[in-house]
Each structure stands twice: as C-alpha cells, then as structure tokens.
Amino acid sequence: MKSLKSSVSKVVSSVGKKVSEKNKALGQTLQNRSKLYFSSLYYRNFRLFFFGQAVSVIGTWMQNIALGWLVLNVTNSPFLLGFMNAVQFLPMLVLSLYAGVIVDRFSKRKILIFTQSSLTILAFILGILTHTGTAKYWHVLLISFLIGTVNSIDMPARQAFYIDLVDKKDLMNAISLNSSIFNLARIIGPAIAGILVGKIGYAPAFYINAISFLPVIYGIYLIKVKDQGKKGSFKGKVFSDISDGLKFIRHTPIILVLMVLLAIINIFMYNFNIYVPTFVKDVLNMGATHYGLVMSFMGGGALLGSFFLALISHKGVRVSYVFVSSVVLGIFGIIIGMQKSYNLTNAFILIEGFAMIVQLNSTNTLIQVNSEDSIRGRVMSVYTFIFGGLTLFGSLYAGTVSQVLGARWAFSISGIITVVSAIFIYLKWYRKISVKKPIELMPETIIESPPINKLRK
C-alpha cells in the first residue's frame, strides 16, 4: 500500500513538475514576445511619454473635428476651410527650419513642456469663444495661426525626442506604438466629437482638449534625460546651422528621396481634413455625426497600420514599405472619388488610414536612423517643414479643387498624382541610389552619411 502511495506521489510530483516547467516556459515565451513586440515600453521615459500622449491626442482629434465642422458650417465654403488650414500651417513653412536649430541647441524636454502648455491655453480660448457664442471666422484664423506657430517648434522637438527615450534599435517600435495611440485616438476622438457637436455644441470638444494636455505635460515633467544642447557642433550663426542640415540631407540620398516623395504626397493627398468633411456634406449629404464616424474608420485603419509596423519592427524597416503604401494610398483615393456609398466610403477610408500610417511611420524612422545625433533636430525640422509647412499649399489646393470640381474629383485627381509620383520616383531615382543596405533599421547597417564637419568645408 505504501509502495502504491509512493508511486502515485511520484507520478503526481512528476506531472506537477512538468506542468510547472511548461508554464514557466510559456511565461518566458510570452515575456520574450512582449519584449520583441513592445520593446520600447520597457523604457521608463518612453512609458511616461506614451501614456501621457494616450490621453492628449484624443482631445486633439476632438478639437480638429469640431474646428473643421465649425468653419464649414459657418462659412459653407470648402475654400475657406482650406484657407483656415493653410493659415494654421503657414508658421511651419516659415519657422520650421529655425525651430530645428532651437531643438538641437536647447533641452527638448523643456521645449515640449512650453509648447504643450501653450496649446492648452489656446484650446481653452477656443472653448470660451464658442461657449459664449462670440466665435467669428477671423477668431478661428488667428487661433489657428497661433496653434501653427507653436506646432512649428513642437513637432521637430517631439520627433527628435524619441531617440532620447529609447535606444536606436527600438526607435521604430517607439514611433509605431506612439502612432498606435495617436490613431486609436483618431477612432475615439472624431466619434465623440461628432456626437458632442451634433447634440450639444462645439465648446465641450475644445474644453476636453485643453484638459487632455495636462497628463502629457506632467509625464514630460517626470521624464529624466540628459538635457544638453550640442553647442559644440554649431558655428554660432543660425543660417549656417540651417545650411548644415540642408547639406546633410542633400548628401544623404535615401533621406532626400524620402523627403521629396513625402512633399508630393503631403501636398496632394494628405488633405483628408478638407476632402472628408466636404465629401460627407456635399456627396453623401450627411452631417457631423457621420463625418466623425468616417474619420473614426480612417483612424481604425491607421491603428491597424501602427500595430502592423510595431509587430514587424524587430525585422527592420524597408523602403519598399514606403513606396508600396504610397501606391495603395493613391489607388484607393481614386476609388473613393468614383463612388457615393457611405458604407464603401468607410471601408475604403479604413484602407487609406492603414496605408497612410505605414507610409508616414516608415519614412519617419528611415530618416531618423540615417541622421547623425548632432543634427537630428535640424533634419526633423525639414521633415516638419514638409509635413507641416507645405500643408499650406496642400490646403489651398484641396480647398480650391473641392470648391471648383467637387470632393469626388479632388479625391481622384490627388490619387492619380500620388500613384504616378511614387512609381516615377521609385523607377527613375531610388533604384539608381548605389548604397549598400539602405533599408535596414539596425544601427550597424545604417547608411554612412558624410560627417557634418566635412559638409561645412
């Protein structure tokens, strides 16, 4: 009997040990996959920035939706909506390159605390103006101009800040995960804003946005990084510093190609804040709630694109992602313009969101990992100049075409330009770049760019 009990005990003990080992192995596998797919979240500084942004960007999207619908309903003019967007991005056209010098000289952390605080104040002012019923079109133009002025500094500082929060090998993961919350907010924010505007009014969207900046400001305040400007790499003259950044880009072929492609797509395709409300109002004959839902579908596609890049980030980012996503973006822009179905619009705009975020995040990562640390702020200021400053021309183009030809033609024409440009640049320019492995993320395979001191000679 004792022998039987002993045998049973040994069997149970053996089974228990095997189960324990399997559970331990499973736990280790899950932990390893977590570190692989969410590597940037293992950095304290990035977590603080990430979770602060998670709250803030929901409010930002609420404000964007409310502001666009406010202008369109007050003026009933796609052109004036485009003009408002142009005014918002005008400061980026003028100030972005100077902002890059500021970012490289001063603490990016302190710059971001200042810019996020300024955006908080401007959102409160918008809330007060709409709440009291005193908001005029010229008020919106002035505040849009001030928002653009702040963003012209905030954007390059924020883009260059990632490299201070994580190691270079985890940069793609950090950008993609941060983009995922931005695009999750693109789903939540427009949907909430559409309901609020339709049921209550514009003011709550602006007030909520103002409050949403507080967590990100506090998170940035808690971040601990070495606040050091790289003053030793400057001549002391702003124009010389800007020139160094431009020379670096010109002598780094992969960055130059990506910048040119981004400029074209940004001017002609990335005008969804004008195309979509005009399309919903004039083609689909629907209101603010449906507009918010369409933008939420676009956010859903962008969120999927962010997750996709985060999951494959450990494999490296490739230039092919940029060109393929650009072509897809253009093709579905053409398709949207050829139909008038609300459900099909939602399906196609979801694909647009996916392609857009793959194109933008891949471009951003490739530019950053191929830039020197001492000049990254100035390189990203050129990125901001293109992505933000050139939006002025894109807004005027989109507003004018939508006004004259209608939203359907605006979508289709822009899609054709995007497809043709992406294919032409790939065949006639990118394939001729004679460099080894310009497409890998890992630092040991990054393109060697001319040192900045040689560019100055």
Element (H, E) at 298: helix 288-312
> Is the separation of the CB atoms in 88 and 148 below 8 Å?
yes
What pLDDT shows up at residue 10? 59
> Is the separation of the CB atoms in 326 and 260 below 8 Å?
no
What pLDDT shows up at residue 328? 95
**Token pair recorded at residue 53:** 């942004």
Give the other-Cβ count within 10 Å of 395's Cβ.
Answer: 25
Below-50 pLDDT ranges, the chain: 19, 26-27, 30, 229, 231-234, 434-457
Q: How far is CA 377 from CA 3, 221, 254, 317, 382, in A?
A: 75, 20, 18, 21, 9
Count of residues in the chain:
457
- Give the start-to-end residue ranges of the domains of the chain: 41-226+235-456
At CB < 8 A and 24+ separation, what contacts does 138-142 make? 140/67, 140/70, 140/71, 140/84, 141/83, 141/84, 141/87
CATH top-level class of 41-226+235-456 = mainly alpha
Question: Would you give the end-to-end CA distance of the chain in angstroms?
Answer: 92
Element (H, E) at 248: helix 238-250
Please give the Cα distance from 319 to 259 (Å, whole number): 12
Dihedral through CA 35, CA 38, CA 39, CA 44, nearest 10?
-110
